[in-house]
Amino acid sequence: MLLTSAPTASADYVRDQQWVLDVFAMKDTWAETQGEGVTVAVVDSGVDATHPDLAGQVLAGKDFTGGGNAHEDKMGHGTVMASIIAGHGHGPGNASGMMGLAPKAKILPLRAIRTEKDPMHDETWAAAVRYAVDQGAKVINMSFGNDGGKTLSDGRAAIAYAQAHDVVVVAAAGNDGSIAVDEPAALPGVVAVGAVDKSGNRWDGSNTGKGLTLMAPGVEILGADTTRSQQYSLSRGTSDAAAFVSATAALVRSKYPELTAGQVINRLVKSASFLGHKGLKAPDEEYGYGIIRPRQAVTMDIPVGPKKNPLGQLTVATPPSSEASEKTAPATQTSFRSLVVLGGGIAAVMVVGVIAWVVTRSRRSAGSGPGSGAGTPPHSYGYPPHPSAGYQYYPNTPPQQGYTPGQAPQHPNPYAQRPPHQGQ
């Protein structure tokens, strides 16, 4: 079986929301590796290391926004990404709470933005990327995009620097539903990630087009989120999908430490599958090389392949110094509102027992095309406002009403199918 076909029952309502663990057969995968010895840098809004599901996993990191603390996360987005990658649960046997795909990987939090209203400058996140490389990170997760704009010289130089130092760089493709992958995901050598739903179908908000590399789950994704009174949230978007790919890269790097970044990417690509989507030829503009399969990525007999990155290499003649990269960039550069991929840019508060979804599909207020329009409130691009009242705290919650992961699926589970890998 590629993946298990049905979720198992659990007394923990938070763990029950993690349908991804079941369809990816993560218990079997963790018997092979749990990401030990690998550091994943999360260039984001910071990571709250106080969440019990991340205790001991988060390194000191660095704040690039101006003298702050990398462990402060006012938005919650960076903490969600970190938990998808390296959450380890809590309680007896870690049986409660959030589990990431690589629970023994370390998280290097690199704060490049404070609030959703702040601009996300290329110079700022570029300095974070270079710092991640210098600190020994082997995977860099960038769950943000620039809304169709081009990456400036600082950003390009930083990514080139990472690639030249054997680092796997993963970025979100974008949440506009556009036929164009956002940069920096679209840059040569970067693993550009789109989102699929539980049925293995492309989420309609996921960007498509040339340069798309892989697909990963990005709908109804649980994450640890200390900005919520319940400490967890559910979200959707390519942001979450990118974090799953970064976690899978960490698993591969842990299992095969001798492989280069290019050879790791080769395993991710060769182990992916189009699953039930017939007639596609890789790279497909909607599904890239297919949907990730973590277990296959660490167990399949795949030739090592060339050391170079199969997705190409970004080269820059004269990269800027780290000191120059830390300067504040002009406000006309990339805005963090383009971090639509921020927790998906579309998120919902998870109340264990009753889940309140707040789904926003609007584009940026200054944008154009379907779903756009002036006057869209700023929070539409990130997490919605906190609920006013009526929600209970985890873990003192009643049995969940409505969606129950333990129920039999109402349609054939595409993750349980066994088609041949397409487009190798």
Per-residue pLDDT tens digits for 384-410: 333 322 222 223 222 222 222 333 333
Residues annotated as catalytic (active site), given as ranges? 44, 77, 239
Per-residue pLDDT tens digits for 334-373: 444 444 445 444 454 443 333 333 333 333 333 323 222 2
Per-residue pLDDT tens digits for 152-206: 999 999 999 999 999 999 999 999 999 999 999 999 999 999 999 999 999 999 9
The candidate with the shortest Cα–Cα distance to 245, out of 192, 206, 199, is 192
* pLDDT score of 131 more than 50: yes
Is residue 293 a part of any domain in this protein?
A: yes
Q: What CATH number does the domain containing 219 carry?
A: 3.40.50.200
Is residue 3 a part of any domain in this protein?
A: no
What gap in Å lies between CA 6 and CA 54, rounded to an integer?
27
**CA distances, 387 to each of 73, 348, 356 (Å):** 19, 10, 9
What gap in Å lies between CA 320 and CA 334, rounded to an integer?
18
Is residue 423 a part of any domain in this protein?
A: no
Both tokens of 170, joined, read 């993963």
Contacts of 332 (CB under 8 A, 6+ apart): none
Is residue 8 a part of any domain in this protein?
A: no
* pLDDT score of 19 more than 70: yes
How many Cβ atoms are within 10 Å of 259's Cβ, its own excluded?
Answer: 18
The candidate with the shortest Cα–Cα distance to 34, out of 193, 300, 250, 322, is 250
Q: Which domain holds residue 394?
A: 13-416
What gap in Å lies between CA 344 and CA 122, rounded to an integer?
20
Is residue 34 a part of any domain in this protein?
A: yes
Spatial contact of 318 and 106, defined as CB atoms under 8 Å apart: no
* Residue for token pair 């207020």: 365
Per-residue pLDDT tens digits for 53-91: 999 999 999 999 997 899 999 999 999 999 999 999 999
Both tokens of 324, joined, read 């120059």
Total domains in the chain come to: 1
Biggest CA–CA distance in the chain, Å, is 59
If residue 348 lies in a helix (H) or strand (E), which one and from where to where?
Answer: strand 346-349
Is residue 76 a part of any domain in this protein?
A: yes
How many Cβ atoms are within 10 Å of 49's Cβ, its own excluded?
Answer: 23
Averaged over 212-217, what is the pLDDT?
A: 98
Q: What is the mean pLDDT of the chain?
A: 79
- Chain centroid to CA 280: how far? 25
Higher pLDDT, 356 or 320: 320
pLDDT, position 148: 77
Averaged over 102-111, what is the pLDDT?
A: 98
The candidate with the shortest Cα–Cα distance to 224, out of 73, 339, 340, 117, is 73
Is residue 422 a part of any domain in this protein?
A: no
Is residue 7 a part of any domain in this protein?
A: no
Per-residue pLDDT tens digits for 242-259: 999 999 999 999 999 999
| Whether pTM exceeds 0.85 | no
